[in-house]
Structures are given as structure tokens and as C-alpha cells.
Amino acid sequence: MTQVDNAAAEKTIETIQLHELLRQTRESQHLTLEMASSQLNMSLDQLNFLESGDLDPLNLTPFERGYVRNYAAMLEIPSEKVESYFPSNTEVVSDLHSVQRYYSYDDQKPFFARAIGRLLIYTLGLAVIAAILWLVWPESTSTLTAEEPAQQLLTPQLPNTSESNAP
């Protein structure tokens, strides 16, 4: 054990603060804050907070406790030693609330998903198709009136004699 480890071992958990334990262990392993920051993917500000006197283990959020646990695991501090600084799980409460309490949403189907909406869409679709067909349909088709075929049947047509007399 190094001198820092011996000094830390002499102090009991009641006298040594968590931030001191983290800082002394890091220094005993000859790690800089920059090295620890790169290994943990944490900012220097976060590590400085974990090693500062402002760290209050009783008022940490679950995420902050996770940061402390990860930092302690990297420093190879036994988890039991770190967990003793945190309140027991029975005292920790979650601030999670149901989302439905804060957001009112209508679970009614949209208008076009209901039967009347679908009927309206289908009717409009058929009307559009009918309008397109009416606009595109050719108007120049010759239709015979009812009198013309009867007239053609009643009057026989003679072959054109002027064409047959031609030399």
C-alpha cells in the first residue's frame, strides 16, 4: 500500500468524505483529471464536482450516483465502500410521473379514419374520376340520329352511272 492508501485506510468512513476518497485514490494511482476524464467520457467540470467539497452523497440524483459509481469502479474502489455513502434504497424516491397527467390527448380516431370520413373520401375520389373521364372523353364522335338509318333503308341508292361511263 502506498502512503496515501495507508492514510486513507486509517481514516474511517465517518471521517473521510466521499470526494476526498475519490481524489486521494485517483492521486495514489498517479492519474490526472484529464486522464480520468478521457477514460470515463466525462467532462472535467463533472469530475471536479465529484472531487469537490460541494459533493453531497445524500442529495445526488440517480444519474449523479451512477457517475460516482463509474468513477469509483474505474479507480477500483470497492462498491460496498462507495454505497455506504449513499442513503438506503428505501429512502430514495423517484420523481417520475405519468406523462398522461401532464399531457391531455384525445384518443378519438381522426375524422378520415372513421366510417363517415372514409365514405366521404371514397365519394370524392369517384367524383374526381368521373369528372376526369367526362373532360377527357372525345366529343367528336359521329352519332347517327334515329331518322338517318330509316331514310337510308327506304331509299335505295343506285350505282353512280357517271363513274361507269367514263372512258
pTM: 0.47
Contact 83, 57 (CB under 8 A): no
CA 154 to chain centre: 82
Domain assignment present for 96: no
Number of domains in the chain: 2
| 75, part of any domain | yes
Q: Which three cell numbers stand for residue 26?
A: 485517483
Same domain? 69 vs 128: no
Q: Is residue 146 part of a domain?
A: no
Domain that holds residue 123: 109-137
Residue 150 lies in a domain: no
Q: What is the CATH number of the domain that holds 40?
A: 1.10.260.40
Mean pLDDT of 3-30: 72
Is residue 23 included in any domain, yes or no? Answer: yes
Mean pLDDT of 29-47: 90
Domain assignment present for residue 29? The answer is yes
* pLDDT at 12 (0 to 100): 45
Say if 24 falls within a structural domain.
yes
Alpha helices in 11-167 (DSSP H): 18-28, 33-40, 44-50, 62-74, 79-83, 99-102, 115-136, 147-154, 161-164
Whether 8 is covered by a domain: the verdict is yes
pLDDT in tens, 58-99: 888 888 888 999 999 999 999 889 888 887 765 555 566 555
Judge if 23 and 74 occupy the same domain.
Answer: yes
Please tell me whether residues 76 and 131 are part of one structural domain: no
